[in-house]
Chain A
Amino acid sequence: MIIGITSSVLLWYGLVQWTPFKAFNRLPDPLSVIIEWVSTDPDYGLSIFTKDYYLHILYSTYRATVAFFLALILGVPLGIMMGWRANFNAYAGALLDFLRPIPPLAWVPIAILILPGDEPAVIFVTFLVAFFATTLNTLLGVRSIDPDFFRAAECLGATDQDILRDIIIPGALPTIFTGLQIAMGAAWFSLVAGEMIAAQYGLGFMILESYNLVQYPTIIIMMATLGIVGYASSALIRVVGKKMIRWREQATGIGQEAET
């Protein structure tokens, strides 16, 4: 991992410093980016020592978090119902199949028109992609549960409530968490695009703003920050998922032991 990162930074440096291509000349080299990033008095106003830097992170994180949890609260129950009840799927499935291919950014103008202000509009488009990913993966998770698991529970006298709590949720959980990770990634993707169009703060906004203001090192700083924040959010979901799906960990753990 270290070799990979080091060599790509070196390549970047080399391309900017020594290549004859004009295209790379405008790109800031890694050293000046890092210097700007950790400077107590940054040339373009943003570094780890400025309050605004964290304000941008905070805005973006806040939007992504709200969108993510909305997707979780609405998408998981919807996906469960669609996977569990065939007639529910007949209603919701067709609508979802129709809406899903519409790129999230296509929703921005409508969202701005309908929702009060830019803030809810940006959150809405972010939510939308996360919602689709969550719903569809939850649906997939419920469908992938062996029908024998339902049958066995029913014949022991389990009610719908028991089946939901003891069969559907734990059975679909691994796939739901895969979906949540995809949802988080998609949320960041959509959020940055949304912020570029309709926001006054946030990492996405700042990337476009820095471009407009010819503050090129700031673009790279913001991009790298996005990478870090995105990775951290994904890792957080993974950790929570591992904690909640202990049975899988244990089972595969034993399997690995047997293999070695």
Chain B
Amino acid sequence: MAEGAALNTSEVHGTKSENAGIWLDQVSKSFASPDAGTIQVFQDLSVHFEPNQLHVVMGASGCGKSTLGYLLAGFISPDQGNVGLGPNPVRNPGPERLLVFQETALWPWMTVLDNVIFGPKVRGDADAKEAKHAAQGLLTKFGLADFADKYPDQLSGGMKRRAEIAQALINRPKVMILDEPFRGLDVMTREILQEYYLDLFEETRQTTVFITSELEEALFLADKIYIMGDQPARILDIIDVDLPRPRDFEVTVSKKYLEYKERAIERLFQSEES
């Protein structure tokens, strides 16, 4: 399976599709750490996330998952190798690759509606009325219609996360990168949000890289799971999750699901031992 992760660059560069995948090609990245010298996070890492799929990157905390997200979003650049979206190299953050952060990134001084329309407003790519209309549509879809004029601190944790996803989605990014978006929420809220997100994905088939450390979350959402090991971070296994869509929580008791789960756990333990 590991060879599936290896990337044929010529193939990627030849991709014409408007919604082509996002990829890393032989990327190396290290950080200077004050007490441990240089930490090599990635070495020759190549991954190709195909379009219109929900890719879940999963691994223990500290294995470099967030760094992967930052690289894809363009917040940091690789020391060596390339990152790209379709035929174009990724150099800077941009609205076509949006990262939803672990911590809340709603601006507390703007109402929920103003937060959501911020992207279209600053780019001037829709007139104010249009943007507002689109935002209200999204908020309704996320069950936040009545909270459009509230400030973020007046919302619950789960509502904030939904507002953040709406804030990113309104920009119609080619790729959504979600870095543990449901972390820190209670189990109930988390499950509700997973279902929300799954519905949305199944409707839009938006290319998504979803980073998580929760196996159940990964299995429930993913088309493909990338199991990451650390030091340096590498993809240990790619699991094609061939579970029917649209999914609901019943899928989590199916035989296939449990087989995938077993395989994933096996891989994760291998990485611990090695």
Centre residue among A157, A159, A245 by max chain B CB count within 10 A? A157
Pick from A149, A155, A170, A250: contact of B95, CB under 8 Å: A155
Q: B123–A251 contact, CB under 8 A?
A: no
Q: Which of B12-20, B100-108, B257-265 forms part of the interface with chain A? A: B100-108
B103 partner residues in chain A, CB cutoff 8 A: 146, 148
- B107 near A151 (CB under 8 angstroms)? no
Q: Does A153 contact B (CB under 8 A)?
A: yes
Q: How many residues of B contact A (CB 8 A)?
A: 25
Q: Could you list 15 further interchain pairs (A-B, Cβ under 8 angstroms) beyond the known A148-B103, A155-B94, A156-B98?
A: A151-B93, A153-B107, A155-B74, A155-B93, A157-B94, A157-B119, A157-B122, A166-B122, A167-B107, A170-B107, A170-B109, A247-B153, A248-B108, A248-B109, A251-B154
Asked if A154 lies at the interface with its beta carbon under 8 angstroms from chain B, I say yes
Q: Are B118 and A247 in contact, CB atoms less than 8 angstroms apart?
A: no
A157 closest partner in B (C-beta):
B123
Q: Chain A residues with Cβ under 8 A from B154's Cβ?
A: 250-251, 254
- A to B contact number (C-beta, < 8 Å): 71
* CB-nearest residue of chain B to A173: B109
Asked if A204 lies at the interface with its beta carbon under 8 angstroms from chain B, I say no
B171 on the interface (CB 8 Å rule)?
Answer: yes
Q: Which residues between 89 and 131 of chain B lie within 8 Å of chain A, taking CB atoms? A: 93-95, 98-99, 101, 103, 105, 107-110, 118-119, 122-123
Q: For residue A74, give the distance in angstroms from its CB to the closest CB of chain B.
A: 24
CB of A158 within 8 Å of the partner chain: yes
For the complex of A and B, 6 pairs with smallest distance between CB atoms? A251-B153, A155-B93, A156-B119, A170-B109, A152-B105, A158-B122
Contacts of B110 in A (CB 8 A): 166, 170, 247
CB distance from A168 to the nearest CB of B (A): 11
Inter-chain CA distance A162–B121, complex, in Å, is: 10
User: 22 A-B contacts, Cβ less than 8 Å apart?
Assistant: A148-B101, A148-B103, A152-B105, A152-B107, A153-B122, A155-B73, A155-B93, A155-B98, A156-B118, A156-B123, A156-B171, A157-B94, A157-B95, A158-B118, A159-B122, A170-B107, A171-B109, A173-B109, A247-B153, A248-B109, A250-B153, A250-B154
**List of A residues within 8 angstroms of B122 by Cβ:** 153, 156-159, 162, 166
CB-CB nearest in chain B for A249: B151
- CA A149 – CA B122 in complex, angstroms? 15
> Taking beta carbons and an 8 Å cutoff, which residues of A are in contact with B?
146, 148-149, 151-159, 162, 166-167, 170-171, 173, 245, 247-248, 250-251, 254-255
Distance, CA A76 to CA B110, complexed state (A): 21
Q: In the complex, are the beta carbons of A166 and B95 less than 8 A apart? A: no
Cβ–Cβ < 8 Å partners of B31 in chain A: none
Chain B residues with Cβ under 8 A from A152's Cβ? 101, 105, 107
CB closest chain-A residue, reference B94 = A155
CB distance from A220 to the nearest CB of B (A): 45
Q: Verify if B75 is at the interface (C-beta below 8 Å from A).
A: yes
CA A245 to CA B107, docked complex, whole Å: 13
B94 CB, nearest partner CB in chain A, Å: 7
Closest to A154 in B: B93
Which residues of B does A touch, CB under 8 Å?
73-75, 93-95, 98-99, 101, 103, 105, 107-110, 118-119, 122-123, 150-154, 171
- Which residue from chain B places its CB closest to the CB of A145 in the assembled complex? B107
Report the nearest B residue to A151, measured CB to CB.
B75
**B151 & A250 in contact (Cβ 8 Å cutoff):** yes
Query: Bound complex: CA of A159 vs CA of B119, how far in Å?
Result: 11
B114 to chain A, nearest CB (A): 9
CA A158 – CA B103 in complex, angstroms?
20
Contact between A171 and B151, CB atoms less than 8 A apart: no
* B177: min CB distance to chain A, Å: 10
Q: Chain B contacts of A245 at CB under 8 A?
A: 109
Chain A residues whose C-beta falls within 8 Å of the C-beta of B152 in the assembled complex: 251
Q: A151-B75, A156-B118, A254-B153 are in contact. Are A171 and B107 (CB under 8 A)?
A: yes
B99 to chain A minimum Cβ distance, whole angstroms, is: 7
Residues of A within 8 A of B95 (CB): 155-157
Of A149, A154, A156, chain B has the most CB atoms within 10 Å of the CB of A156
Q: Give A255 to B152 CA distance when docked, in angstroms.
A: 12
CA distance A159 to B95 in the complex (A): 13
B105:A148 contact, CB within 8 angstroms:
yes
Which of B105, B107, B108 neighbours the largest number of chain A CB atoms within 10 Å of its CB?
B107
CA distance A255 to B156 in the complex (A): 11
| Residues on B with beta carbons closer than 8 Å to the beta carbon of A250 | 150-151, 153-154
Residue on A with the closest CB to B119? A156
Measured between alpha carbons, how far is A53 from B123 in the docked complex, in Å? Answer: 57
A14 to chain B, nearest CB (A): 50
B98: min CB distance to chain A, Å = 7
Chain A residue at minimal CB-CB distance from B97: A155
Q: How far is the CA of A222 from the CA of B203 in the complex (A)?
A: 74
Which chain A residue lies CB-closest to B105? A152
Instruction: Give which listed residue, B73, B99, B101, B151, contacts A247 with CB less than 8 A.
Output: B151
